[in-house]
Amino acid sequence: GESVGLHLPTLSVQEGDNSIINCAYSNSASDYFIWYKQESGKGPQFIIDIRSNMDKRQGQRVTVLLNKTVKHLSLQIAATQPGDSAVYFCAENDYKLSFGAGTTVTVRA
Amino acid sequence: DTAVSQTPKYLVTQMGNDKSIKCEQNLGHDTMYWYKQDSKKFLKIMFSYNNKELIINETVPNRFSPKSPDKAHLNLHINSLELGDSAVYFCASSLTRNPGNEQFFGPGTRLTVL
């Protein structure tokens, strides 16, 4: 089976609110995790990554949290905008990129 | 300029046919990949090439044959197409085969087998 998964397949969020997308992984040896965003009709696009020696990393409006104890990863998007509507994937990368199933985020105006 | 490009964007064909999808990257990367995304959006790696050499083959049926004429190109040929091959196929590239390198994805090729 796959080693990376997401808790919820869909998330609806009001524009301006914060979004939290969750992901669980099973391989405790994983040491590198990435979040990708896939807009409709396009390929996945890198958002942010984190290594296992960190528990938090911030980018522009995005924060990734890593909890190695429970093997959980989350992506927080601040002040969600209509352009954030997309499918979000977490992935782990050891020798290959293994993706979870994706969470579809819909932003309500 | 498009970093990773694929042709065609859409491909509709009959069962049993043979088809090819082409991929080119102008980023100067050493490593290229093919991924398959099914109707449920699940994305799975198929192959990876590093400097024209196959380094990952994820138990893909041998009807699928990747070819890398040079490190900027990775084409995917599929023989005897089946209904289950219908999916979106993404090409990607990264600077090196180091797992820490970001992968850049192409726009995808939607293959429909009738």
Strand, coil or helix: A83 = helix
pLDDT for position A95: 82
pLDDT of residue B2 exceeding 90: no
SS3 of chain A: helix, strand, coil, percent, to 5? 5, 55, 40
Residue B30 · residue B72 · CB < 8 Å: no
- Residue found under tokens 């002040």: A79
pLDDT in tens, A14-49: 999 999 999 998 888 888 999 999 999 999 999 999
Rounded CA gap, A105 and B19, in Å? 34
Give the neighbor-by-neighbor strand order of the sheet with B64-70.
Answer: B4-7, B19-25, B73-78, B64-70
Closest CA to A105 of A32, A27, A17: A17
pLDDT for position B35: 97
Rounded CA gap, A88 and A91, in Å? 10
CA nearest A33 in B: which residue?
A: B100
* Sequence letter at residue A88: Y
Residue range B86-109: mean pLDDT, rounded: 95
Residue range B81-106: mean pLDDT, rounded: 95
Rounded CA gap, A78 and A81, in Å? 9
Rounded CA gap, A36 and A48, in Å? 7
* Sequence letter at residue B60: V
Query: Hey, which residues does B56 pair with through a beta bridge?
Result: B48
- pLDDT confidence band for B1 (50 / 70 / 90): low
Distance to chain A for B16, nearest Cα, Å: 27
Question: Residue B20: how many CB atoms within 10 A of its CB?
Answer: 13
pLDDT in tens, B27-77: 999 999 999 999 999 999 999 999 999 999 997 899 999 999 999 999 999
pLDDT for position A2: 40
A contact residues 1-40, partner B, Cβ 8 Å cutoff:
32, 34, 38
Token representation of residue A101? 């199933």
Rounded CA gap, B100 and A6, in Å? 22
Verify whether the Cβ–Cβ distance A43 to B4 is below 8 Å. Answer: yes
Residues of B with CB under 8 A from a CB of A: 4, 33, 40-45, 48, 56, 58, 90, 92, 99-100, 102-108
Residue A53 · residue A93 · CB < 8 Å: no
DSSP tag of B103:
P
